[in-house]
Amino acid sequence: MPIYEYACHACGLEKEYLQKMSDAPIAKCPSCGSTDYVKKVSAAGFQLKGTGWYVTDFRNKNTGRPDSKPKDESGKETASTDKTAANTATTTPAATTAPPAPATD
């Protein structure tokens, strides 16, 4: 529901009201009783109260669980055994040899 600002030109009272958009504007000042109580022109604020705003409307569809089968770049499912074998073959470091010992005279 929007929050509207009202001002009384007779006593100077300024007050905010939480009203439905379909509600009639307040015509009488609650402080002095003057009928010179007008709705100010301003950006109407609103409050999101209650449960379910984020969960139902803006929740990320990704649940954070990995897919049951890995996919390649094109989006097609691949066999996990083939991909695992390829990864181990390319990630195995080459055998390193020790540098030769310096010659002694």
The full set of domains in the chain, from first to last, is 2-46 (2.20.28.10)
- 91-to-84, 88, 94 alpha-carbon distances in Å: 11, 5, 9
pLDDT tens sequence for the chain (105 residues)? 788 899 999 999 999 998 888 999 999 999 999 999 999 887 756 667 766 666 555 556 665 555 556 566 665 655 555 555 555 555 656 666 777 777 776
Per DSSP, 44 falls in state P
Residue 15 bridge partners (DSSP): 6
- Chain centroid to CA 35: 44
Query: Is residue 32 within 8 Å of 8, Cβ to Cβ?
Result: yes
**pTM listed for this prediction:** 0.41
Q: What is the pLDDT of residues 61-84, one digit of tens each?
A: 665 555 556 566 665 655 555 555
Helix ranges restricted to H, 1-105: 53, 80-91
What does the alpha-carbon distance between residue 46 and residue 4 come to, in Å, rounded to a whole number? 9
